């Protein structure tokens, strides 16, 4: 049974988004729980958001997924630890790690 870290992080991201402090969040997590972040964001986020899991085999596929991330609300990208190393120069304002 979990300790509620994911739900707490979602609530904090939502509060920061509603306060106009962030517009995008990059979540880094183990590969085995990327889908958990996606399902729990959709289940528990009480605010507008769009989410993509960056799990393509190449950096170009991940960039394409980010370009397609749109719509209203907080933009959320979920990526595994190893893949996150290549994203140092992006303009992500918040990082949540699991």
Q: Domain boundaries in the chain?
A: 5-97
Q: Please work out, in degrees rounded to the nearest 5, the angle formed at the alpha carbon of residue 93 by the alpha carbons of 91 and 98.
A: 115
Q: pTM of the entire structure?
A: 0.81
Architecture of domain 5-97: 3-Layer(aba) Sandwich (3.40)
pLDDT tens track for 30-79: 888 898 999 999 999 999 999 999 887 777 888 888 888 877 899 999 98
């Amino acid at each position: 049974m979990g300790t509620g870290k994911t739900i707490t992080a979602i609530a904090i991201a939502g509060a920061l988004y509603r306060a106009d402090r962030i517009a995008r969040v990059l979540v880094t997590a183990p590969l085995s729980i990327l889908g958990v972040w996606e399902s729990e964001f959709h289940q528990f986020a009480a605010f507008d958001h769009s989410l993509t899991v960056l799990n393509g085999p190449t950096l170009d596929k991940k960039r394409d997924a980010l370009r397609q991330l749109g719509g209203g609300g907080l933009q959320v990208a979920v990526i595994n630890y190893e893949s996150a190393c290549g994203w140092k120069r992006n303009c992500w304002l918040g990082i949540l790690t699991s």
